[in-house]
């Protein structure tokens, strides 16, 4: 990237599970928390030529989610999000475009939450208790 373009931007895709205690997602949440830390470390190592940021993605209505979530479960999840809706792919794409663009030229090492303001997991997974 530096050799061909002189610099650039890396946009990592993380998850709200990296910051919230979501039962059943220990491995996934831990991996995404590690990605958030990697984002900070690489930002320090690669600056000033390459910026490294992450998007912390909230509950998004994707084809994969639609295959396992009923409309009722999606309505329940939306009710737990301050913006009262599940996110769309365009919400994440807009943030990625910003982070990759010159508009974010003085932003590095940040993990930006794109989650409709959710401070709790919109969905809970049935996990057996010990």
pLDDT tens per residue, the chain (130 residues)? Answer: 999 999 999 999 999 999 998 889 999 999 999 999 999 999 999 999 999 999 999 999 998 888 888 999 999 999 999 999 999 999 999 999 999 999 999 999 999 999 999 999 998 878 888 8
Domain borders along the chain are: 7-113
Residues 6 or more apart whose Cβ sits within 8 Å of residue 36:
14, 18, 19, 54, 56, 111
Nearest to 109 by CA among 13, 61, 49, 37: 37
pLDDT at 17: 95
CB 20 within 8 A of CB 121: yes
pLDDT of residue 91: 98
pLDDT at 123: 87
Phi, psi of 115 (to 5 degrees): -145, 15
First and final C-alpha spacing in the chain: 49
pLDDT at 64: 86
Phi (first) and psi of residue 103, to 5 degrees: -60, -25
Residue 88's Cβ-side half-sphere holds a number of Cα atoms within 13 Å equal to 5
pLDDT at 40: 98
Output the six-digit token pair for 64.
């994969």
User: Which listed residue (28, 89, 94, 124) is catalytic?
Assistant: 28
| 28 has catalytic annotation | yes
CATH assignment of 7-113, given 3.40.50.720, 3.20.20.60, 3.30.70.100, 3.40.50.300?
Answer: 3.40.50.720
> Tokens representing 109?
């090492």
Beta-sheet strand order (sheet of 8-15): 8-15, 50-57, 111-114
């Amino acid at each position: 990237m530096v050799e061909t373009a002189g610099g650039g931007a890396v946009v990592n895709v993380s998850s709200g599970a990296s910051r919230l205690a979501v039962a059943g997602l220990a491995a996934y949440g831990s991996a995404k928390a590690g990605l958030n830390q990697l984002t900070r470390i690489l930002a320090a190592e690669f600056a000033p030529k390459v910026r490294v940021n992450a998007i912390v993605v909230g509950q998004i209505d994707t084809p994969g989610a639609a295959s396992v979530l009923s409309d009722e479960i999606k309505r329940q999840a939306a009710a737990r999000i301050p913006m009262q809706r599940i996110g769309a792919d365009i919400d994440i794409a807009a943030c990625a475009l910003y982070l990759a663009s010159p508009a974010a030229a003085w932003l590095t090492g940040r993990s930006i939450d794109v989650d409709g303001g959710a401070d709790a997991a919109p969905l809970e997974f049935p996990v057996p208790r010990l």
